[in-house]
């Protein structure tokens, strides 16, 4: 099938253009997209270079490329807009109504969103990441007093990536504690966890999926056997019910979805905005 | 100053609405925004609830709230659009020109962007995160053959959060190796790193900023002294020049910016799109 190129053009990282564009193009199932990011297009010269790159994909008979952009500077945006692609820019669309409603002119400065304009936000994310690493998998630190949330679940239920995502994206202090044979066989949580009961949040997952994930790590043996996985998940579920710990089944969720559900359900505040 | 509420309304996680809205509102410096995310608004009933929440902030004399939304379902979007806030929705603005250009009707399904529609992408991100953790700080694994990129730099120059971000956001395999006294005093990189020279990328940072960051970790002693920090950064810089290792000064960059610059400069391909 003919490939259609999608460009994400940004005067900074391209993260916003990528996120925006991805939400939209995933709604068109019948296409074969090739995605390219052109970051740091922050001058008129670079804008001309970007247009050349875009137009080079428009050879005879090829479909028109799609250009998602988040270009703050009007002169840069005006140039990229003249490429041969279909140009969709959030500042073009949304800046006018916002300016009118807020009664204030936009500063039109680069890097205010994903830039280091806010050192405080940067430090919070770094510190939250360090916290997640130090308190990963029941790690030695166990600074659970400082935690906003403590995820519990069996091995490979998604605890670590979720904690890291909560830290990097939102500056949230997320610890995690693995439910191992000790807890699963006795059905009891250790005292140091019970003292933090309000912060506990459970992750569970369908047995079939967990077997698959564990086999990636260790193809053979008890760890990835269907019997063991079913036993662990059943006992973890009993613990969640016994202690009334809110929990989410991660089987059909992405890391973003798991994280959003945890924040939504616990009411934990984002310390930083993406 | 009067607070103006900004809502991010989504039928899934809210990540796209947050990213989009944040890029726009940070352009207005004179405002006092309070940001609230309303995720998982995926039914007509929930849409009505969201409208109630939005309208409740519109009491007499209060400024009109701003509503950024990424609502895929037309009926849900139509209801939220009728709130008393200023409603800005990416599907409203961009779906029509895209549909026309692509000559295909959008599927209008939820969760295609940050959903688990793509288990393969989920697994890649998880595996890349595990790789980053196993190969953090010169860790025991050192599966550098598998790495897409290996970040080197002195302690607290930003290596670990950047590797984790590259993994979680893009599924990129990023290892990191700390430059310690051994390398800094001899000016030599170990052989196992030299074998991967093409993958090396350096992080540096201004001395004043690094002193500040290290003091957060250990307020006293050599580790966070200006003299030690200046020595380490000077010697690291010599190593980068000696071996012609591309590098970036992270002082004024966010994690997103550092990551984008690394991908842009090395040409490492994103394995997954956010």
Give dist(CA A57, CA A60) in Å, integer: 9
Best of A256, A268, A274 to disrupt the B interface by mutation (most B CBs within 10 Å)?
A256
B111 or A17: which leads in pLDDT? A17
pLDDT at position B114: 63
Is a pLDDT exceeding 60 seen at residue B192?
Answer: yes
Put simply, whether B75 touches A (Cβ < 8 Å) is: no
Give dist(CA A120, CA A54) in Å, integer: 37
CB contacts under 8 A, B 10-29 vs A, are 12-16, 18-20, 22-29
Query: Inter-chain contact A213–B123, Cβ cutoff 8 Å?
Result: yes
pLDDT at position A197: 95
Put simply, whether B104 touches A (Cβ < 8 Å) is: yes
Q: What is the DSSP string of B60-73?
A: TTPPPPEEEEE--S
Query: Inter-chain contact B257–A109, Cβ cutoff 8 Å?
Result: no
**Which of B18, B27, B254 lies nearest to residue A106, judging by beta carbons?**
B27
Give dist(CA A128, CA A259) in Å, integer: 15
Q: What residues in B contact A127, CB-CB < 8 Å?
A: 216
Give dist(CA B210, CA A123) in Å, integer: 12
Confidence of residue B116 (pLDDT cuts 50, 70, 90): low
How large a percentage of chain A has pLDDT more than 70? 97
B160-177 core/surface letters (b: 16 or more CB in 10 A; e: else): bbbbbbbbbbbbbbbbbb
Query: Inter-chain contact A94–B107, Cβ cutoff 8 Å?
Result: no
Cβ pair A80, A9 in contact under 8 A: yes
Q: What residues in B contact A6, CB-CB < 8 Å?
A: none
* Rounded mean pLDDT, A86-110: 92
Chain A residue with Cα closest to B272: A35
Prediction pTM value: 0.89
Q: Which tokens is A139 given? A: 């790690």
pLDDT digits (tens, 9 = 90+) for A108-138: 887 776 655 567 888 899 999 999 999 998 8
pLDDT digits (tens, 9 = 90+) for A13-42: 898 999 999 999 999 988 999 999 999 999
Query: Inter-chain contact B257–A12, Cβ cutoff 8 Å?
Result: yes
Chain A residue with Cα closest to B66: A98
Cβ pair A139, A111 in contact under 8 A: no
Quote the minimal CA–CA distance from A149 to chain B in Å: 18
Put simply, whether B264 touches A (Cβ < 8 Å) is: yes
pLDDT at position B166: 97
Strand order in the sheet with B247-249: B174-178, B149-153, B200-204, B247-249
Put simply, whether A66 touches B (Cβ < 8 Å) is: yes
Give dist(CA B175, CA B170) in Å, integer: 14
Calculate the average pLDDT of chain A.
92
Query: Inter-chain contact B27–A256, Cβ cutoff 8 Å?
Result: no
Put simply, whether B111 touches A (Cβ < 8 Å) is: yes
Is a pLDDT exceeding 80 seen at residue B117?
Answer: no
Give dist(CA A35, CA B219) in Å, integer: 45
pLDDT digits (tens, 9 = 90+) for A34-61: 999 999 999 999 999 999 999 999 877 7
Is a pLDDT exceeding 60 seen at residue B86?
Answer: yes
Cβ pair A216, B127 in contact under 8 A: yes
Is a pLDDT exceeding 80 seen at residue B24?
Answer: yes
**Structural domains of chain A, with CATH:** 3-102 (3.40.50), 119-266 (3.40.50)
- ipTM of the complex in this document: 0.87
The candidate with the shortest Cα–Cα distance to B6, out of B56, B64, B62, is B64
pLDDT at position B130: 92
Query: Inter-chain contact B23–A37, Cβ cutoff 8 Å?
Result: no
Put simply, whether B90 touches A (Cβ < 8 Å) is: yes
Best of A32, A113, A135 to disrupt the B interface by mutation (most B CBs within 10 Å)?
A113
Is a pLDDT exceeding 90 seen at residue A141?
Answer: no
**Which of B70, B115, B263 lies nearest to residue A257, judging by beta carbons?**
B115
Is a pLDDT exceeding 60 seen at residue B27?
Answer: yes
pLDDT digits (tens, 9 = 90+) for A70-92: 999 999 999 999 999 999 999 99
* Rounded mean pLDDT, B46-62: 91
CB contacts under 8 A, A 189-228 vs B, are 213, 216
CB contacts under 8 A, B 160-189 vs A, are 160-161, 164-165, 168-169
pLDDT at position B17: 94
Put simply, whether A263 touches B (Cβ < 8 Å) is: yes
Put simply, whether A123 touches B (Cβ < 8 Å) is: yes
The alpha-carbon radius of gyration of chain B (Å, integer) is: 24
**DSSP character for B271?**
S
Put simply, whether B259 touches A (Cβ < 8 Å) is: yes
Neighbours of A225 (CB within 10 A): 14
Q: What is the DSSP string of chain A?
A: --EEEEEEEESS-SHHHHHHHHHHHTT-TT-EEEEEEE----SHHHHHHHHHHHHHT--TTPPPPEEEEE--SHHHHHHHHTSSSEEEEHHHHHHHHHHHHHTS-----TTTTTSTT-HHHHHHHHHHHHHHHHTGGG-S---TTT-SEEEEESTTSSHHHHHHHHHHHH---EEEEE--HHHHHH----HHHHTTGGGEEEEE--HHHHHHHHHHH-SSSGGG-HHHHHHHHHHHHHHHHHTT--EEE-TT--HHHHHHHHHHHH-PPPSS--
The candidate with the shortest Cα–Cα distance to A265, out of B15, B57, B40, is B40
Q: Which tokens is A99 given? A: 């300016």
């Amino acid at each position: 099938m003919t490939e259609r190129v999608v460009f994400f053009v940004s005067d900074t990282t391209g993260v916003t253009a990528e996120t925006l564009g991805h939400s939209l193009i995933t709604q068109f199932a019948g296409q074969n997209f090739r995605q390219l990011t052109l970051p740091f297009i922050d001058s008129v010269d670079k804008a001309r270079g970007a247009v050349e790159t875009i137009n080079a994909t428009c050879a005879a008979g090829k479909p028109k490329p799609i250009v998602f952009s988040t270009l703050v500077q009007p002169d840069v945006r005006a140039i990229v807009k003249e490429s041969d692609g279909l140009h969709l820019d959030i500042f073009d669309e949304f800046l006018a109504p916002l300016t009118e409603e807020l009664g204030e002119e936009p500063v039109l400065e680069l890097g205010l969103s994903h830039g280091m304009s806010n050192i405080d936000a940067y430090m919070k994310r770094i510190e939250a990441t360090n916290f997640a690493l130090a308190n990963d998998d029941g790690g030695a630190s166990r600074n659970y007093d400082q935690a906003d949330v403590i995820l519990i679940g069996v091995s490979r239920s998604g605890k670590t990536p979720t904690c890291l995502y909560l830290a990097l994206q939102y500056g949230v202090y997320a610890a995690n504690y693995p439910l191992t044979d000790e807890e699963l066989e006795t059905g009891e949580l250790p005292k140091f966890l019970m003292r933090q009961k309000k912060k506990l949040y459970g992750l569970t997952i369908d047995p079939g999926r967990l077997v698959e994930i564990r086999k990636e790590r260790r193809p053979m043996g008890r760890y990835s056997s269907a019997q063991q996985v079913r036993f662990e998940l059943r006992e973890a579920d009993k613990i969640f019910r016994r202690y009334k710990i809110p929990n989410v089944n991660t089987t059909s969720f992405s890391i973003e979805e798991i994280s959003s559900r945890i924040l939504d359900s616990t009411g934990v505040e984002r310390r930083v905005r993406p």
